[in-house]
Structure 1
């Protein structure tokens, strides 16, 4: 989502004559687009800001701004505490950047962190940054209405609002016509996408939006992220089953395997309910890969709760997992209601245990692919060899194979010969 926001910012600034540079010394303006989801992310931002100090001293007029969730959370404190920051802009205020930059250029501290109930940036065509020309992100909604107690997003990105489907389809169609072959539909919770077109007396849900995007062309792959377990419907799963170009991959954050902890997190489902949702996905989509998020060491988590998380991971055998030790975020419901009482050494030990467990599941998932022939979308050159290309399978697994006369954007059939923990080793057997 932050990457997509950066592309929106680049588009807004392009209209003001700004262009991107990879060289800080050449820049007139540096903007850090920030995340507040974990403390480490904020620490990284503070460290990065100090690296611009010398440039700021040597280059009059050099401006540094902080965008996004961290800007929203800290607001004016940033201007007071951080002498390196000239402007602070929240995620709903990017349209005001030109005026804020002009204000900061006069020596004034510029800030706009107002949240909006309407802003979706639906009319802005993002500038594709660091693009491979094959895959792109398309934002379909902003904000979040789920008040998970550990999460700062509702406070930094505001309430949920869905972008109109016609601008989404226009953006995805334009990408396809420009040679892109995969779009990822983005939202804090895509399954709650909901748009009412009163002029047509029509309601568009995420399932119907997904089918409309897939209908642009069978050559356009469609992915989406993120799903909330309580909101993903059978309609979405059946839409995926009907369209070969909607990838068989669902990110389904579990956060904890303990019903007691899930209640403290306000996740609104139980352990058993989540497991039935996994069953339902595999019933309708037998080959669907499932990834997840896991937080270990949440407030009051016991060893029994931890074992519940380990066992639900054993049950689901996730293809991919993002695993973190709980990091209390100021302003969240958990910070106000509960004590962060699990010792750091216990958090680290539990995290190491779930990481080790998942590593085995991930390797097992990769090994299951060996011997299969699968379709891959070529995305670019392998990091390890200019003579090899890489692409992803329908299940979001990375495969590498010899280059031959293939080009980025080609669909190829490859036979999986071997695998490492994170990569499939393949041989091209034909074009699609």
Structure 2
């Protein structure tokens, strides 16, 4: 899966990334006699977006959300199956939750999402810790599944749909800062990358009605939100009834309001077009930032991965981004080290790709074989674990150096920042992001969350920028 949750570091080991990708409900929803729902989400942005759909479905069924798992009548884990470590983390969490269940009989536990779709009956039969199993396309059926589980049966629905987009369901914004929000524009994936389980756990690709997307974005802006991220496994393949493509959708959302920032994730190198790039250039409120997973810098490995492009094609897309949007456009990547049969020379091709592109940040992993994927069926996982980790460490070191160099170039410049909230490290500071997705920390002064401010960048690390607010006239000068 190519969707990745951004965090302050952007340069992550496997363990670090999984730790930062667990999100719980942060506050209680007002309720009187309603039952309580606790949701914990793992993995990608799409999972977090799905949890907001689940909360909406269950609210209509009479449940209010809670941030206290001990207070919950119903516990959902929305899971990820992209790596074995992610699944093991969920299994360990289920063991803990079952201790809670023993103290509070009648509590129901459900596993949702990709892990539920992949393991299905195994979760019910072998684990014996789960009452409900629901795949990503069965969330409308959750009230019925909960009723079945409440009557002593097991509630199971892992049917994959060719039509479901949840376009008519208004998400409940969980863990919301009230400034940024995710808007799902499509579901599923038709790319059969050999290492990836997503086509098997999320089904075939289907796009959401563009007018429902624009309405959701407009409603969010009306409610005070100032940034939306359009989500899809591969947003560039968005197409509604052969009449609206992704570039056109991007323009429609940008036209909601000039003060509504628009981001998107994730792009596939084989599909991102110059039309999309020129649309980004046309609108100041479309962020000049593209997440473009490479996965490898070697053409032979890319062919084994079934990525359907080679090194030269990828670099051609990078050159087009630089030509149309300029060097200031932020670009990030996903990269896998130690894929089947990868040689040391082929690993160095990935390193040289980092050096050529000069990515602003990246998400890097050592290869983890997933049962049922094409790679697991066709290729031996033959790179020793210590070699994978050494290559990963080398790649992280190179990216960290490049990230620092890219950030240093911004010192002395003035950047427009959307204030997202208080810094995690100091209540005296605000945190926000610039157009290119980089995080900035700066003194609060007399501004508030949701304001746009101009910040003079004064210092940086590889992960974060620091600065001070300046007057708009200074920014113009």
Q: TM-score, normalised by structure 1?
A: 0.98
Structure 1 residue 60 displacement after superposition: 1.3
Partner of 2:324 in structure 1? Answer: 284
Are positions 1:140 and 2:185 aligned together? Answer: yes
Structure 1 residue 68 displacement after superposition: 0.2
Partner of 1:358 in structure 2? Answer: 399
Partner of 2:164 in structure 1? Answer: 119
Distance in 1 separating the partners of 2:70 and 2:456: 47
Which of 376, 382, 387 aligns to 1:346? It is 387
SS state at 2:294 partner: coil
Partner of 1:4 in structure 2? Answer: 49
Structure 1 residue 421 displacement after superposition: 2.1
1:9-60 superposed Cα distances (whole Å, 9 cap, x missing partner): 0000001111111111110010000001111111110111111121111211
Distance in 2 separating the partners of 1:278 and 1:311: 14
Which of 136, 152, 158 aligns to 1:91? It is 136
Contact 2:123/2:129 (<8 A) preserved = no
Instruction: Between 47-56 and 28-37, report the one with greater CA deviation.
Output: 47-56
Are positions 1:254 and 2:294 aligned together? Answer: yes
Which of 388, 393, 412 aligns to 1:371? It is 412
SS state at 2:243 partner: strand
Contact 1:411/1:431 (<8 A) preserved = no
Partner of 1:264 in structure 2? Answer: 304
Which of 287, 293, 300 aligns to 2:334? It is 293
Any stretches of 5+ residues in structure 1 without a counterpart? 197-201
SS state at 2:55 partner: helix
Partner of 1:237 in structure 2? Answer: 277
Distance in 1 separating the partners of 2:132 and 2:425: 40
Structure 1 residue 346 displacement after superposition: 0.5
Partner of 1:334 in structure 2? Answer: 375
Are positions 1:80 and 2:125 aligned together? Answer: yes
SS state at 2:170 partner: coil
Contact 1:366/1:421 (<8 A) preserved = yes
SS state at 1:323 partner: strand
Distance in 1 separating the partners of 2:351 and 2:372: 29
Q: TM-score, normalised by structure 2?
A: 0.89
Note the 1:148-167 alignment, pairs <5 A: 148-167=193-212
Which of 195, 202, 221 aligns to 2:240? It is 195
Distance in 2 separating the partners of 1:395 and 1:381: 20
Structure 1 residue 404 displacement after superposition: 1.0
Distance in 1 separating the partners of 2:164 and 2:472: 43
Are positions 1:33 and 2:78 aligned together? Answer: yes
Structure 1 residue 418 displacement after superposition: 0.7
Structure 1 residue 430 displacement after superposition: 2.3
Partner of 2:452 in structure 1? Answer: 411
Which of 208, 213, 222 aligns to 2:248? It is 208
Structure 1 residue 431 displacement after superposition: 5.2
1:80-116 superposed Cα distances (whole Å, 9 cap, x missing partner): 0111100100000000000000000011111000000
SS state at 1:19 partner: strand
Distance in 1 separating the partners of 2:162 and 2:187: 9
Partner of 1:199 in structure 2? Answer: none
Contact 1:211/1:239 (<8 A) preserved = yes
SS state at 1:100 partner: helix
Which of 36, 49, 52 aligns to 2:97? It is 52
Any stretches of 5+ residues in structure 2 without a counterpart? 1-45
Distance in 2 separating the partners of 1:352 and 1:386: 34
SS state at 1:52 partner: helix
Select the structure with the greater relative contact order (CA < 8 A; seq sep ≥ 6): 2
1:209-257 superposed Cα distances (whole Å, 9 cap, x missing partner): 0000000000000000000000000000000000000000000000000
